[in-house]
Protein backbone atom coordinates (compact mmCIF):
# COMPACT_ATOMS: atom_id res chain seq x y z
CA UNK A 1 0.00 0.00 0.00
CA UNK A 2 1.13 3.55 -0.68
CA UNK A 3 1.08 4.75 2.92
CA UNK A 4 0.55 8.42 2.08
CA UNK A 5 -2.76 7.74 0.32
CA UNK A 6 -4.90 6.87 3.35
CA UNK A 7 -5.92 8.73 6.50
CA UNK A 8 -7.16 6.44 9.27
CA UNK A 9 -10.10 7.64 11.37
CA UNK A 10 -11.13 5.53 14.40
CA UNK A 11 -14.26 6.38 16.37
CA UNK A 12 -13.62 5.59 20.03
CA UNK A 13 -17.20 5.93 21.34
CA UNK A 14 -18.99 3.64 18.90
CA UNK A 15 -22.13 1.94 20.24
CA UNK A 16 -21.51 3.12 23.81
CA UNK A 17 -25.17 3.87 24.51
CA UNK A 18 -25.77 0.12 24.25
CA UNK A 19 -22.83 -0.61 26.58
CA UNK A 20 -23.72 1.67 29.51
CA UNK A 21 -22.19 -0.62 32.13
CA UNK A 22 -18.83 -0.98 30.39
CA UNK A 23 -18.60 2.63 29.20
CA UNK A 24 -19.73 4.47 32.35
CA UNK A 25 -16.14 5.60 33.05
CA UNK A 26 -14.44 4.96 29.71
CA UNK A 27 -14.97 5.04 25.95
CA UNK A 28 -15.79 1.91 23.97
CA UNK A 29 -12.23 1.86 22.68
CA UNK A 30 -10.91 1.68 26.26
CA UNK A 31 -12.94 -1.39 27.22
CA UNK A 32 -10.56 -4.27 28.13
CA UNK A 33 -10.66 -7.38 25.97
CA UNK A 34 -9.01 -10.78 26.14
CA UNK A 35 -7.15 -10.22 29.40
CA UNK A 36 -4.47 -7.80 28.17
CA UNK A 37 -5.90 -5.73 25.30
CA UNK A 38 -8.30 -2.83 24.80
CA UNK A 39 -10.89 -2.62 22.03
CA UNK A 40 -9.02 0.24 20.36
CA UNK A 41 -5.99 -2.05 19.90
CA UNK A 42 -7.68 -3.93 17.06
CA UNK A 43 -8.37 -1.08 14.59
CA UNK A 44 -5.09 0.62 15.58
CA UNK A 45 -3.07 -2.55 14.98
CA UNK A 46 -4.89 -3.26 11.71
CA UNK A 47 -3.98 0.18 10.42
CA UNK A 48 -0.40 0.00 11.62
CA UNK A 49 0.11 -3.47 10.12
CA UNK A 50 -1.33 -2.22 6.83
CA UNK A 51 1.13 0.66 6.58
CA UNK A 52 -1.27 3.50 7.48
CA UNK A 53 0.84 5.96 9.44
CA UNK A 54 -1.54 8.89 9.84
CA UNK A 55 -4.34 7.96 12.25
CA UNK A 56 -6.84 10.11 14.15
CA UNK A 57 -8.87 8.77 17.08
CA UNK A 58 -12.18 10.60 17.46
CA UNK A 59 -12.89 10.72 21.21
CA UNK A 60 -16.26 12.27 22.03
CA UNK A 61 -16.33 11.67 25.80
CA UNK A 62 -14.78 9.67 28.67
CA UNK A 63 -11.41 9.72 26.93
CA UNK A 64 -8.96 10.02 29.84
CA UNK A 65 -8.50 6.25 30.01
CA UNK A 66 -8.11 6.14 26.22
CA UNK A 67 -5.41 8.84 26.23
CA UNK A 68 -3.53 7.05 28.99
CA UNK A 69 -3.64 3.80 27.00
CA UNK A 70 -2.61 5.00 23.55
CA UNK A 71 -0.17 7.69 24.72
CA UNK A 72 1.99 8.87 21.83
CA UNK A 73 1.15 5.78 19.77
CA UNK A 74 4.60 4.23 20.15
CA UNK A 75 3.16 0.74 20.82
CA UNK A 76 1.70 0.84 17.29
CA UNK A 77 4.75 2.51 15.68
CA UNK A 78 2.75 5.74 15.29
CA UNK A 79 4.94 8.08 17.37
CA UNK A 80 6.30 10.11 14.47
CA UNK A 81 7.43 13.66 13.79
CA UNK A 82 5.10 13.89 10.85
CA UNK A 83 1.68 12.29 10.71
CA UNK A 84 1.46 9.60 13.40
CA UNK A 85 -1.34 9.42 15.98
CA UNK A 86 -3.73 12.24 16.93
CA UNK A 87 -6.49 12.32 19.55
CA UNK A 88 -9.47 14.36 18.30
CA UNK A 89 -11.81 15.47 21.13
CA UNK A 90 -14.67 17.97 20.73
CA UNK A 91 -13.61 21.62 20.77
CA UNK A 92 -15.43 24.90 21.27
CA UNK A 93 -19.11 24.65 20.41
CA UNK A 94 -18.63 22.08 17.68
CA UNK A 95 -20.94 19.11 18.04
CA UNK A 96 -19.93 15.45 17.91
CA UNK A 97 -23.53 14.35 18.51
CA UNK A 98 -23.88 12.40 15.25
CA UNK A 99 -21.43 10.84 12.83
CA UNK A 100 -22.35 13.37 10.15
CA UNK A 101 -21.72 16.34 12.47
CA UNK A 102 -18.48 14.80 13.73
CA UNK A 103 -17.00 14.35 10.27
CA UNK A 104 -18.17 17.82 9.23
CA UNK A 105 -16.59 19.47 12.28
CA UNK A 106 -13.33 17.59 11.70
CA UNK A 107 -13.05 18.85 8.13
CA UNK A 108 -9.95 20.88 8.99
CA UNK A 109 -8.10 17.81 10.22
CA UNK A 110 -9.38 15.52 7.46
CA UNK A 111 -8.64 17.91 4.60
CA UNK A 112 -5.32 19.18 5.95
CA UNK A 113 -3.26 16.24 4.68
CA UNK A 114 -2.74 15.15 1.10
CA UNK A 115 -4.21 11.63 1.52
CA UNK A 116 -6.62 10.59 -1.20
CA UNK A 117 -8.71 8.20 0.94
CA UNK A 118 -10.18 8.10 4.44
CA UNK A 119 -10.45 4.73 6.17
CA UNK A 120 -13.22 4.87 8.78
CA UNK A 121 -13.22 2.23 11.53
CA UNK A 122 -15.32 1.73 14.68
CA UNK A 123 -13.90 0.68 18.03
CA UNK A 124 -16.58 -1.91 18.85
CA UNK A 125 -15.53 -4.39 16.15
CA UNK A 126 -12.99 -7.05 17.15
CA UNK A 127 -11.22 -8.33 14.04
CA UNK A 128 -7.79 -8.74 12.48
CA UNK A 129 -7.79 -7.59 8.87
CA UNK A 130 -5.23 -6.73 6.23
CA UNK A 131 -6.47 -3.38 4.88
CA UNK A 132 -4.08 -3.70 1.93
CA UNK A 133 -6.56 -6.15 0.40
CA UNK A 134 -9.38 -3.67 0.83
CA UNK A 135 -7.31 -0.92 -0.79
CA UNK A 136 -6.40 -3.11 -3.79
CA UNK A 137 -10.06 -4.12 -4.20
CA UNK A 138 -11.14 -0.46 -4.20
CA UNK A 139 -8.48 0.57 -6.73
CA UNK A 140 -9.26 -2.38 -9.00
CA UNK A 141 -12.95 -1.36 -9.13
CA UNK A 142 -12.29 2.42 -9.19
CA UNK A 143 -14.57 2.60 -6.18
CA UNK A 144 -15.50 5.89 -4.50
CA UNK A 145 -16.92 4.16 -1.42
CA UNK A 146 -15.93 0.64 -0.36
CA UNK A 147 -17.73 -1.10 2.50
CA UNK A 148 -16.42 -4.10 4.40
CA UNK A 149 -19.12 -6.66 5.17
CA UNK A 150 -19.56 -10.08 6.70
CA UNK A 151 -22.39 -12.57 6.29
CA UNK A 152 -24.47 -13.20 9.41
CA UNK A 153 -27.99 -13.15 10.79
CA UNK A 154 -28.93 -9.79 12.26
CA UNK A 155 -32.03 -9.01 14.33
CA UNK A 156 -31.43 -5.25 14.58
CA UNK A 157 -28.83 -2.54 14.00
CA UNK A 158 -28.21 -0.49 17.12
CA UNK A 159 -26.20 2.44 15.72
CA UNK A 160 -25.87 4.76 12.71
CA UNK A 161 -22.50 3.26 11.85
CA UNK A 162 -23.75 0.15 10.04
CA UNK A 163 -26.20 -0.97 7.41
CA UNK A 164 -27.34 -3.98 5.41
CA UNK A 165 -26.06 -4.33 1.85
CA UNK A 166 -27.28 -5.97 -1.33
CA UNK A 167 -24.19 -6.85 -3.38
CA UNK A 168 -23.95 -8.28 -6.90
CA UNK A 169 -21.44 -10.88 -8.09
CA UNK A 170 -18.85 -8.20 -8.91
CA UNK A 171 -19.03 -6.66 -5.44
CA UNK A 172 -21.04 -3.64 -6.56
CA UNK A 173 -23.54 -2.42 -3.96
CA UNK A 174 -27.06 -2.29 -5.38
CA UNK A 175 -29.02 -1.44 -2.24
CA UNK A 176 -28.30 -0.02 1.23
CA UNK A 177 -30.78 -0.71 4.04
CA UNK A 178 -30.78 0.90 7.47
CA UNK A 179 -32.23 -2.19 9.18
CA UNK A 180 -32.63 -5.91 8.39
CA UNK A 181 -35.78 -7.14 6.69
CA UNK A 182 -35.89 -10.34 8.75
CA UNK A 183 -33.64 -12.58 10.83
CA UNK A 184 -32.07 -14.40 7.88
CA UNK A 185 -28.38 -14.24 6.96
CA UNK A 186 -27.52 -10.95 5.29
CA UNK A 187 -24.55 -8.80 4.28
CA UNK A 188 -23.78 -6.77 7.39
CA UNK A 189 -21.52 -3.74 7.00
CA UNK A 190 -19.07 -4.07 9.93
CA UNK A 191 -18.45 -0.32 10.08
CA UNK A 192 -15.09 -0.30 8.27
CA UNK A 193 -15.24 1.82 5.14
CA UNK A 194 -12.73 3.19 2.64
CA UNK A 195 -13.93 6.45 1.07
CA UNK A 196 -12.36 8.96 -1.26
CA UNK A 197 -11.82 12.08 0.82
CA UNK A 198 -13.42 14.46 -1.68
CA UNK A 199 -16.49 12.22 -1.97
CA UNK A 200 -16.89 11.88 1.80
CA UNK A 201 -16.67 15.60 2.50
CA UNK A 202 -19.01 16.51 -0.36
CA UNK A 203 -21.67 14.08 0.86
CA UNK A 204 -21.34 15.23 4.48
CA UNK A 205 -21.50 18.93 3.55
CA UNK A 206 -24.63 18.27 1.47
CA UNK A 207 -26.31 16.50 4.40
CA UNK A 208 -25.36 19.30 6.83
CA UNK A 209 -26.70 21.97 4.45
CA UNK A 210 -30.07 20.18 4.52
CA UNK A 211 -29.96 19.67 8.33
CA UNK A 212 -29.93 15.90 7.89
CA UNK A 213 -27.79 13.95 10.34
CA UNK A 214 -28.20 10.23 9.66
CA UNK A 215 -25.01 8.84 8.16
CA UNK A 216 -26.76 5.81 6.67
CA UNK A 217 -29.93 7.45 5.36
CA UNK A 218 -28.65 10.90 4.44
CA UNK A 219 -25.11 10.12 3.29
CA UNK A 220 -24.65 6.48 2.31
CA UNK A 221 -28.02 5.78 0.71
CA UNK A 222 -27.82 8.96 -1.34
CA UNK A 223 -24.36 8.01 -2.57
CA UNK A 224 -25.61 5.05 -4.61
CA UNK A 225 -27.01 7.15 -7.45
CA UNK A 226 -23.98 9.42 -7.71
CA UNK A 227 -20.90 7.32 -7.03
CA UNK A 228 -19.27 3.96 -7.56
CA UNK A 229 -20.06 1.98 -4.40
CA UNK A 230 -18.58 -1.47 -3.79
CA UNK A 231 -18.33 -3.89 -0.88
CA UNK A 232 -15.48 -6.18 0.14
CA UNK A 233 -16.36 -9.40 1.97
CA UNK A 234 -14.36 -10.13 5.11
CA UNK A 235 -14.59 -13.82 5.99
CA UNK A 236 -12.27 -13.84 9.02
CA UNK A 237 -13.12 -13.72 12.71
CA UNK A 238 -15.25 -10.67 13.47
CA UNK A 239 -17.28 -9.79 16.56
CA UNK A 240 -19.33 -6.62 16.96
CA UNK A 241 -19.84 -5.75 20.63
CA UNK A 242 -23.27 -4.24 21.28
CA UNK A 243 -24.16 -5.51 24.76
CA UNK A 244 -22.61 -7.01 27.87
CA UNK A 245 -23.79 -10.43 26.66
CA UNK A 246 -22.03 -9.99 23.30
CA UNK A 247 -18.93 -8.77 25.12
CA UNK A 248 -18.99 -11.83 27.38
CA UNK A 249 -19.54 -14.23 24.45
CA UNK A 250 -16.77 -12.66 22.34
CA UNK A 251 -14.27 -13.05 25.18
CA UNK A 252 -15.33 -16.64 25.82
CA UNK A 253 -14.89 -17.50 22.14
CA UNK A 254 -11.18 -16.70 22.18
CA UNK A 255 -10.71 -19.58 24.60
CA UNK A 256 -11.04 -21.73 21.45
CA UNK A 257 -7.61 -22.25 19.93
CA UNK A 258 -8.67 -21.80 16.29
CA UNK A 259 -10.53 -18.58 17.09
CA UNK A 260 -7.60 -17.29 19.10
CA UNK A 261 -5.12 -17.99 16.31
CA UNK A 262 -7.42 -16.32 13.75
CA UNK A 263 -7.66 -13.16 15.83
CA UNK A 264 -4.10 -13.02 17.14
CA UNK A 265 -2.31 -13.78 13.90
CA UNK A 266 1.48 -13.78 14.32
CA UNK A 267 1.88 -12.24 10.84
CA UNK A 268 -0.40 -9.35 11.82
CA UNK A 269 0.15 -8.89 15.57
CA UNK A 270 -2.29 -7.04 17.79
CA UNK A 271 -0.26 -4.48 19.70
CA UNK A 272 -1.11 -2.92 23.05
CA UNK A 273 0.35 -0.76 25.78
CA UNK A 274 2.99 -2.75 27.66
CA UNK A 275 2.66 -2.96 31.42
CA UNK A 276 5.80 -4.22 33.14
CA UNK A 277 4.34 -6.77 35.55
CA UNK A 278 6.12 -9.77 37.00
CA UNK A 279 5.11 -13.23 35.76
CA UNK A 280 1.98 -14.64 37.35
CA UNK A 281 2.43 -16.83 40.44
CA UNK A 282 0.48 -19.99 41.20
CA UNK A 283 0.02 -21.32 44.73
CA UNK A 284 0.60 -24.93 45.69
CA UNK A 285 -3.15 -25.62 45.82
CA UNK A 286 -4.12 -23.64 42.75
CA UNK A 287 -5.81 -25.34 39.78
CA UNK A 288 -6.21 -23.57 36.43
CA UNK A 289 -8.06 -25.16 33.52
CA UNK A 290 -9.01 -23.85 30.04
CA UNK A 291 -8.29 -20.24 30.98
CA UNK A 292 -6.23 -17.24 29.87
CA UNK A 293 -4.13 -15.67 32.62
CA UNK A 294 -2.34 -12.36 32.07
CA UNK A 295 0.90 -11.37 33.79
CA UNK A 296 1.17 -10.05 37.33
CA UNK A 297 -1.51 -12.30 38.83
CA UNK A 298 -1.44 -14.36 42.03
CA UNK A 299 -3.59 -17.48 41.75
CA UNK A 300 -4.24 -19.48 44.92
CA UNK A 301 -7.65 -20.95 44.04
CA UNK A 302 -9.48 -22.74 41.23
CA UNK A 303 -9.93 -21.05 37.85
CA UNK A 304 -11.92 -22.72 35.05
CA UNK A 305 -12.85 -21.41 31.59
CA UNK A 306 -12.12 -17.81 32.57
CA UNK A 307 -10.11 -14.79 31.45
CA UNK A 308 -8.02 -13.20 34.19
CA UNK A 309 -6.49 -9.80 33.43
CA UNK A 310 -3.27 -8.29 34.74
CA UNK A 311 -2.62 -7.88 38.43
CA UNK A 312 -5.54 -9.95 39.74
CA UNK A 313 -5.27 -11.66 43.14
CA UNK A 314 -7.33 -14.82 43.69
CA UNK A 315 -7.43 -16.05 47.27
CA UNK A 316 -7.10 -19.53 48.76
CA UNK A 317 -9.97 -21.95 48.02
CA UNK A 318 -11.68 -19.37 45.80
CA UNK A 319 -13.51 -20.80 42.77
CA UNK A 320 -13.78 -18.80 39.52
CA UNK A 321 -15.80 -20.37 36.66
CA UNK A 322 -16.81 -18.86 33.30
CA UNK A 323 -15.79 -15.36 34.35
CA UNK A 324 -14.03 -12.32 32.92
CA UNK A 325 -12.00 -10.64 35.66
CA UNK A 326 -10.48 -7.28 34.70
CA UNK A 327 -7.29 -5.64 36.00
CA UNK A 328 -6.23 -5.39 39.63
CA UNK A 329 -9.23 -7.11 41.19
CA UNK A 330 -8.93 -8.86 44.55
CA UNK A 331 -10.95 -12.05 45.00
CA UNK A 332 -11.08 -13.08 48.67
CA UNK A 333 -10.50 -16.54 50.11
CA UNK A 334 -13.31 -19.06 49.53
CA UNK A 335 -15.24 -16.72 47.23
CA UNK A 336 -17.26 -18.41 44.47
CA UNK A 337 -17.85 -16.54 41.21
CA UNK A 338 -19.70 -17.99 38.21
CA UNK A 339 -20.69 -16.40 34.87
CA UNK A 340 -19.61 -12.87 35.74
CA UNK A 341 -18.01 -9.85 34.10
CA UNK A 342 -16.02 -8.19 36.90
CA UNK A 343 -14.73 -4.71 36.05
CA UNK A 344 -11.42 -3.20 37.22
CA UNK A 345 -10.39 -2.73 40.87
CA UNK A 346 -13.26 -4.75 42.33
CA UNK A 347 -12.81 -6.24 45.80
CA UNK A 348 -14.79 -9.45 46.41
CA UNK A 349 -15.05 -10.26 50.09
CA UNK A 350 -14.06 -13.56 51.68
CA UNK A 351 -16.70 -16.27 51.23
CA UNK A 352 -18.89 -14.28 48.81
CA UNK A 353 -21.02 -16.32 46.38
CA UNK A 354 -22.11 -14.52 43.22
CA UNK A 355 -23.60 -16.27 40.20
CA UNK A 356 -24.98 -15.20 36.85
CA UNK A 357 -25.94 -17.42 33.92
CA UNK A 358 -24.29 -17.87 30.53
CA UNK A 359 -27.37 -16.34 28.87
CA UNK A 360 -27.39 -13.43 31.33
CA UNK A 361 -23.89 -12.91 32.75
CA UNK A 362 -23.87 -10.64 35.78
CA UNK A 363 -21.81 -7.45 35.67
CA UNK A 364 -19.98 -6.01 38.70
CA UNK A 365 -19.12 -2.35 38.31
CA UNK A 366 -15.65 -0.82 38.52
CA UNK A 367 -14.25 -0.26 42.03
CA UNK A 368 -17.13 -2.09 43.71
CA UNK A 369 -16.78 -3.86 47.03
CA UNK A 370 -19.02 -6.93 47.20
Report the CATH number at residue 108: 3.90.550.10
Q: Whose CA is closest to 299, among 307, 284, 290?
A: 284
Same domain, 247 and 348: no
| Cβ–Cβ under 8 Å, residues 166 and 173 | yes
Domain C-terminal end among 233, 263, 293: 263
165 bridge partner residues: 176, 187
Q: What integer pLDDT is reported at residue 2 of this predicted model?
A: 54
Same domain, 258 and 318: no
Residue 370 inside a domain? The answer is no
Q: What integer pLDDT is reported at residue 1 of this predicted model?
A: 47
Same domain, 347 and 251: no
Same domain, 312 and 251: no
Alpha-carbon gap, residue 49 to 47, rounded angstroms: 5
Q: Whose CA is closest to 356, among 334, 368, 340?
A: 340
Q: What integer pLDDT is reported at residue 260 of this predicted model?
A: 92
Same domain, 9 and 150: yes
Total domain count, the chain: 2
Residue 87 inside a domain? The answer is yes
Residue 275 inside a domain? The answer is no
Burial of 206 (0-12, 13-18, 19+ CB in 10 A): middle
Residue 357 inside a domain? The answer is yes
The gap between the terminal CA atoms of the chain, to the nearest Å, is 51
Q: Which residues, 6 or more positions from 29, have their beta carbon under 8 angstroms from its beta carbon? A: 10, 12, 13, 14, 38, 39, 40, 57, 59, 66, 123
Residue 273 inside a domain? The answer is no
Domain with 356, as residue range(s), is: 281-364
Same domain, 11 and 119: yes
Same domain, 216 and 315: no
Residue 287 inside a domain? The answer is yes
Alpha-carbon gap, residue 5 to 71, rounded angstroms: 25
Domain C-terminal end among 263, 291, 308: 263
Counting as low any pLDDT under 50, the low residues of the chain are 1
Give the Cβ contact number of residue 209 at 10 Å.
9
194 bridge partner residues: 119, 146
Alpha-carbon gap, residue 365 to 23, rounded angstroms: 10
Residue 272 inside a domain? The answer is no
Residue 268 inside a domain? The answer is no
| Cβ–Cβ under 8 Å, residues 21 and 31 | no
Domain of 308, CATH number, reads 2.160.10.10
Q: What integer pLDDT is reported at residue 3 of this predicted model?
A: 52
Same domain, 24 and 89: yes
Same domain, 257 and 328: no
Q: Whose CA is closest to 197, among 2, 3, 1, 6?
A: 6
Alpha-carbon gap, residue 263 to 254, rounded angstroms: 8
Same domain, 104 and 240: yes
pTM over 0.85: yes
Give the Cβ contact number of residue 323 at 10 Å.
28
pLDDT tens digit sequence for 136-193: 999 999 999 999 999 998 877 877 788 999 999 999 999 999 887 777 899 999 999 9
Amino acid sequence: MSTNKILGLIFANTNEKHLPELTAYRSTGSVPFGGKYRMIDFPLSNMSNSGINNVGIVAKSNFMSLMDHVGSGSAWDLARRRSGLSILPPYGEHSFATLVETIFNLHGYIEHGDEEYVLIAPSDCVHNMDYNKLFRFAEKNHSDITFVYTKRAVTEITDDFRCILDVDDDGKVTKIMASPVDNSVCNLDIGVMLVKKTVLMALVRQAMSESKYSFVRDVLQKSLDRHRVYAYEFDGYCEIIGSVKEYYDANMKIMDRDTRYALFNSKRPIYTKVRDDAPSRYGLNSNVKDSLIAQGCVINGIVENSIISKGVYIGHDAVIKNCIIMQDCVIGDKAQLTNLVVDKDVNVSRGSKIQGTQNYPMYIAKRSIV
